[in-house]
Structure 1
Amino acid sequence: MLIFAAFLGGVGLIVGSFLGLVSLRLPRGEDVVFGRSRCGGCGQALKPWRMIPVLSWALSGGRCAECGSVIPIRYPLIELASGLIGVWAGFHSADFATALMTGVLGWNLLIIALVDAEHFWLPDQLTLPLFVSGLIAAVLLHPAGLPVAMPSALIPPLIGASVGFGGLWLLARLYKLVRGREGLGGGDPFLLGAGGAWVGWTGLPSVLLWASVAGLSVVLAMLIVRRQVSATDRLPFGVFLSIGVWLTWLYGPLGLV
C-alpha cells in the first residue's frame, strides 16, 4: 500500500497540474490539451522546469520569473489536493488496479467540484468521462476478470447511472412544478447518473445523504459567518455530490457494510 500511495501521489501531482489548466481553460472555451501553458500576466510560454508541480511555485516565490506577476495559489493547492487523492487511494486499496481506478475517480471528481464551485457549471465534458470511467472500472475490477466480466459487469453501473440520472431529473422537475423556479442545475442529474455508474443504485441514497450533510455544513458555516441565508442563495450542489460519490465508493453504502 505504501508503494501504491507514493506512486499515485506522484502521479496525482502531475494530474493536478493538468486539472488546474483545465479548470482555467474549459470555462473560457479554450483548448485544454494542445495549448501551451503561459503566464497569465505577460503571456510568456512556461519553460518545462517552470511547470514542476508545487515545487516550481514554491521556488519562484509564487511569481512569474519573467514579469513578476503573482501566480495564484489555487494552482499549487489543486496539485496538492490531487496528490493527496492519489495517496488516499493508494493507502485505501489492497491491489493496484483498485487503487488506480480509485485515483481516477478522485481526480475526476476534483475537477468537477472545482469547476462547479467556481462557475456553477457541470459540463458534459466532465460528467461524461466520469460515466465512462465508471464502466471501465466495473469491468476491470470485476472478480470474473476479462473478457468474461464484460456483459455482467456492465449491468450494475448502467442501472446505477439510469436510476441516478432519472431520479434526480424527476426531483428537479417536481421542484420546479411546485415552486415555480429551478432548484437544481441542469448538470446535477448527469453527475449523479455518472456517480451511479461507480457506486451502483444501492449506493445512490448514501451519495445523497453525504451530499446533504456536506451542504448543510456549508449552510451552517454561512449562518455562523453571515448570520443569515437567503432561499435564493446558490450553492454548488455538484461539489456536495462529488463528496458523496467519493465517500460512498471508498466506504460503501451506509447501512450495507
Structure 2
Amino acid sequence: MDLLIPILFAVLGLIFGSFIAAVTVRMPREEDIVLGRSRCMSCGETLKPWQLVPVFSWLIQRGRCAMCGAAVSPRYILIEAAAAAIGVWAALSGAGDLTWSVATAALGWQLLLIALIDAENFWLPDELTLPLIATGLIAAAVIAGGWPIDQIIGAVAGFASLWLLAELYRRVRGRQGLGGGDPILFAGAGAWVGWQGLPSVLLWACAAGFSVVLTLLITRRSVSGADRLPFGTFLAIGLWLTWLYGPIGG
C-alpha cells in the first residue's frame, strides 16, 4: 500500500499530463480541446490510440511520427513526466492523508497548465484561472469540514490587491504592467492558501522572477524595461511552494 498510492498518482499524472500537453497546443490556436482529435503537426494525420500512450509512445517511436517520420517535439514527454512527478510528489506529501494528496495533485496539475500557457503565450485565460478559485474553495471546505472563511477572504484580497497595483502602475507609467489574468490567478492563490499565504506566494513569485532576470543578465548582459516576463508562471510557482510548505515564517 505504501507504493500503490504514489504509483496510482503517477499513472494519473501521465494521463493528465497528456491532456495538459494537448491543451497547451490547442487553446492558443482556438481549437476544440475536448472533441478535437490528436494529429501529427507535420502531416496532419489523425493519431491512433496506440500512438497516444503517454511517454511510452514517444519512446517507442523514437520521437518521430509513425506516419511521416517527422520529429515530434520532446515537450510532450517532458510535460507528461512533469505531471507524473507532481502526482508522486502529491502522494508522498500527503503522509497518508488521501484527501490532502488529491487536493495537492489537483492544484499541481492546474498550475502546470497555467504556468505553461503563460510562459509560452503571455496569456492567462479565464477558463483556467477562474476554476482555480473554485477548486481552491472546494478543497479548503472539504479539508476544513466547514466554511473556508480565510480562503474566501484570500480570494477577494488576492484579486483586489493585484488589480489595484496594476491600475496604479497603469496610471503612473501610462502602460500596462500586469496582464488582466494576474489578479484572477492571485485570487485563486488566496482561495487555496488563504489570505495569510498571499505574501508568501508573492515573495516566492518575485524570487522566481528575479532568478530569471539574473539569468538573462548573466547570459545576455542586457535586460530592458520593455522585456516581458510571464508573471503568472512565477505566481504559479509561488502558490505551489506556499501550499506545500506553508507561509514563510509561519
TM-score (norm 1): 0.94
Shift of 1:228: 0.9
1:218 corresponds to = 212
| Aligned with residue 208 of structure 1, among 202, 207, 228 | 202
| Aligned with residue 166 of structure 2, among 132, 152, 172 | 172
1:198 corresponds to = 192
| Aligned with residue 126 of structure 2, among 124, 132, 152 | 124
Q: Residue 4 of structure 2 aligns to a residue in which SS?
A: helix
Runs of 5+ consecutive residues of structure 2 not aligned to the other structure: none
2:73 corresponds to = 72
Matches within 5 A, 1:15-94: 15-94=16-95
Shift of 1:2: 3.6
Q: Deviations over 1:188-239 (max 9, x none)?
A: 0010001110000000000000000000000000000001100110000001
Give the Cα separation in 2 of the matches to 1:2 and 1:102: 18
Give the Cα separation in 2 of the matches to 1:181 and 1:133: 33
Counterpart amino acid of 2:89? Answer: W
Q: Contact 1:115 / 1:121 at 8 angstroms: preserved in 2?
A: yes
Q: Residue 28 of structure 2 aligns to a residue in which SS?
A: helix
Shift of 1:82: 0.5
Shift of 1:40: 1.1
Shift of 1:3: 3.0
RMSD: 1.0
| Aligned with residue 138 of structure 2, among 120, 136, 139 | 136
* Matched length: 248
1:98 corresponds to = 100
Q: Residue 249 of structure 1 aligns to a residue in which SS?
A: helix
Give the Cα separation in 2 of the matches to 1:57 and 1:177: 49
Q: Residue 124 of structure 2 aligns to a residue in which SS?
A: coil
Give the Cα separation in 1 of the matches to 2:71 and 2:153: 47
Give the Cα separation in 1 of the matches to 2:12 and 2:207: 31
1:252 corresponds to = 246
Q: Deviations over 1:129-151 (max 9, x none)?
A: 11111111012211x4xxxx2xx
Q: Residue 50 of structure 2 aligns to a residue in which SS?
A: helix
Runs of 5+ consecutive residues of structure 1 not aligned to the other structure: none
TM-score (norm 2): 0.97
Counterpart amino acid of 2:112? Answer: L
Bigger mean CA offset, 2-11 vs 156-165: 2-11
Give the Cα separation in 2 of the matches to 1:5 and 1:253: 26
| Aligned with residue 233 of structure 2, among 223, 235, 239 | 239
Give the Cα separation in 1 of the matches to 2:4 and 2:193: 26
Counterpart amino acid of 2:212? Answer: V
Displaced runs of 4 or more, over 4 A: none
Counterpart amino acid of 1:32? Answer: I
Q: Residue 27 of structure 1 aligns to a residue in which SS?
A: coil
Give the Cα separation in 2 of the matches to 1:27 and 1:133: 23
Percent identical pairs in the alignment equals 59
Q: Contact 1:161 / 1:196 at 8 angstroms: preserved in 2?
A: yes
Give the Cα separation in 2 of the matches to 1:2 and 1:132: 31
Give the Cα separation in 1 of the matches to 2:194 and 2:167: 23
